[in-house]
Amino acid sequence: MRRRNFSFAATIIGLIVMLAMLAACAPAAPADSGADQAASADESEAAAAADEGGPKYGGILKFGQAQASTVINPWGGRLHGATEWNILHQIYEGLLYWDSGYNNNPSLAESWEAVSDTEYIFNLRKGVLFHNGEEMTSEDVVYSFEHAMDESISAYAGWLSPVASVEATDDYTVKVTLKEPYSPFLDVIGRPAVLVMPAGTFEKEPFEYIGTGPFKLKEFEPGVKTELVRNEDYWEEGVPYLDGISMSYLLDDAARAANLSSDAVDFIMMVPGASWESLTQQEYKLFTGDTGIFFMFTFNVGREPFNDPNVLKALQHLVDRQVMCDVYTAGRCNRFFAGDPQPPTSQYYTGIEYFKEPDIEKAREYLAQSNYPDGFEVDLNFYGAASDEGQIAEILQISAAELGIKFNLLATDHAVWVEKVYKGEFTAALQGLYASSPDDIFYGIMHPEGVSHGFAPNFDIPEYNALVEEARRVTDPDHRRELYTEALTIGYEAGWPLIYLFTYDDRMGMHPDVMDYQVDGLGTVRFLKYVWLDR
């Protein structure tokens, strides 16, 4: 098979995506029927119709992205950032999708069944057309699985490694067999890790972006703009309402907010904390929703001085999370981390708490026990010079100086940033990350075979690895929680290389006449098919 090379970009905030990762509510064990969890399209339409005047068809939504997309890659390359996912969600769909509560819902599969711990049946919708007019069948789903499982092209091959086989039992039924029980399997499908496209897509020249989604790709100018048009043959009745979407890239925080307030765009990602009040006073709509996106400092334990556990423990107690939250979100954080990165509402929450408040004296004690009692000097990478991220890095820089630690702050180019992160070519970094389940963080990032281990390079503890491997095979929530508790305890004692800061609300800003936007729990813009313009 010919291999196609992609160049991949993503964003610190969108390092999110999907790859990857931690703290929202973990969905329950995957034995439920899809029919029982269905999110009714009829209910969505009824809600829209209830708005004064009802939904209107037509118009182009002018969308200001927070970072530039230089590639659109359905298999994620090294990573999908939020910017790229905002495009992909409009073009492609998976078998299932997550709602804002992290529940799996029917998408291209109208129902599904866990026949056993290692066998799943997906029943496909009939009459779904690809953008080229061909009907989607199980053959296309099998083809899409095979490519998503191919390590040479897919960022999600690791998530799908427990899959033994994918079989089309008839035109509208797909059977997936696992090598062993794999508790996160349905969550992986709901992300979605497998975007469905016509069989043979990858072998065609030039590559065509053909999916089943509500919008078709009209034009993509890397780093400049993306134009999408309405899919007139979309399978879900009544939507989309928009004629199209015009995406531009507004990288500077202040400029992005100014474009919204001047009506140059209708919708922006990542409203800067400093602009929140002024946009509110101008009566622009500002949407927030708990996305499971969180910020963290991460350190390479394969490099000095972070191969010293006491250095890592000192920094854990040094960080003032409230001050950083105030800078980044104007105080709109959902949770601060005290040890366990999972939400307390999660059935897998361990209750481990090490550092509720900054404690400079405890930080001094740990540093004094390290090989660097007088401090050290090291580079810290972050994305974007004129950004709130830079201010967070500065807060750490100022705090660390009290211990004799000097962080040299390096604003990093977008494309270079992603390559550094995924190759582990950094010593210290500030990163934004999305995570949804315990498997994301405890295995996906922290295990050497995890798809996102570049976030925690060189962290490799055999005892820890064995525990999180077992947790993947266990479906009993109590047993899984016990395994994660033991693993996290071992990890912190050995020197945990991530300093979790806080989760924050998705911050979308839009013109008052942008109607029926729905928050996506993934930290991306998924549901633009329900948006309409009251003009």
The DSSP output letter for 444 is I
For the segment 36-45, the average pLDDT, to the nearest whole number, is: 41
Per-residue tokens: 534: 């009251």
Q: Which of 10-24, 291-305, 335-349, 354-368 holds the top average pLDDT?
A: 354-368
Which residues pair with residue 225 across a beta bridge? Answer: 221, 248
Report strand pairing: 96-98 vs 498-505.
unpaired
CA–CA distance, 296 with 257 (Å, rounded to integer):
25
CA 205 from chain centre, in angstroms, equals 30
| Predicted pLDDT at 342 | 80
What is residue 109's three-state secondary structure? strand
Are the C-beta atoms of residues 512 and 284 closer than 8 Å to each other? Answer: yes
| Predicted pLDDT at 414 | 66
Q: Which of 135-149, 180-194, 507-521 holds the top average pLDDT?
A: 135-149
| Domains 50-92+213-289+506-535 and 291-505 equal at CATH topology level | no
Nearest to residue 352, comparing CAs of 363, 360, 344?
Answer: 344
> Is pLDDT larger for residue 76 or for residue 483?
483
Length of the chain in residues, anyone? 535
Q: What is the pLDDT of residues 195-237, one digit of tens each?
A: 999 999 988 878 899 999 999 999 999 889 999 999 999 999 9
CATH of domain 50-92+213-289+506-535: 3.40.190.10
pLDDT bin (cut points 50, 70, 90) of residue 386 is low
DSSP per-residue string spanning 45-93: HHHHHHSTT------EEEEEESS------TTBTT---HHHHHHHHHH--
Q: What is the pLDDT of residues 310-330, one digit of tens each?
A: 999 999 999 998 888 888 777
Q: For a pLDDT cut of 90, what percent of the chain falls above it?
A: 56
Please say whether the structural domain 291-505 has been given the CATH code 3.30.465.10.
Answer: no
Report the mean per-residue pLDDT for the chain.
85
- The CATH T-level fold of domain 93-211 is Dipeptide-binding Protein; domain 1 (3.90.76)
| Predicted pLDDT at 10 | 34
Q: What is the pLDDT of residues 107-134, one digit of tens each?
A: 999 999 999 999 999 999 999 999 999 9
Peptide bond into 192 cis (omega under 30): yes
Nearest to residue 439, comparing CAs of 190, 195, 194, 187?
Answer: 187
Peptide bond into 240 cis (omega under 30): yes
For the segment 272-277, the average pLDDT, to the nearest whole number, is: 81
Q: Between 462-473 and 477-494, two packed helices, what is the crossing angle to 10 degrees?
A: 160
Nearest to residue 392, comparing CAs of 500, 314, 309, 313?
Answer: 500
C-alpha separations of 419 from 16, 270, 340, 426 in Å: 15, 23, 28, 10
> Is pLDDT larger for residue 64 or for residue 418?
64
Domain boundaries, the chain: 50-92+213-289+506-535, 93-211, 291-505
C-alpha separations of 179 from 163, 230, 439 in Å: 6, 40, 17
| Predicted pLDDT at 420 | 78
| Predicted pLDDT at 467 | 98
Q: What is the pLDDT of residues 458-472, one digit of tens each?
A: 999 999 999 999 999
Phi, psi (degrees; rounded to nearest 5) at 141: -65, -45
Q: For a pLDDT cut of 70, what percent of the chain falls above it?
A: 85
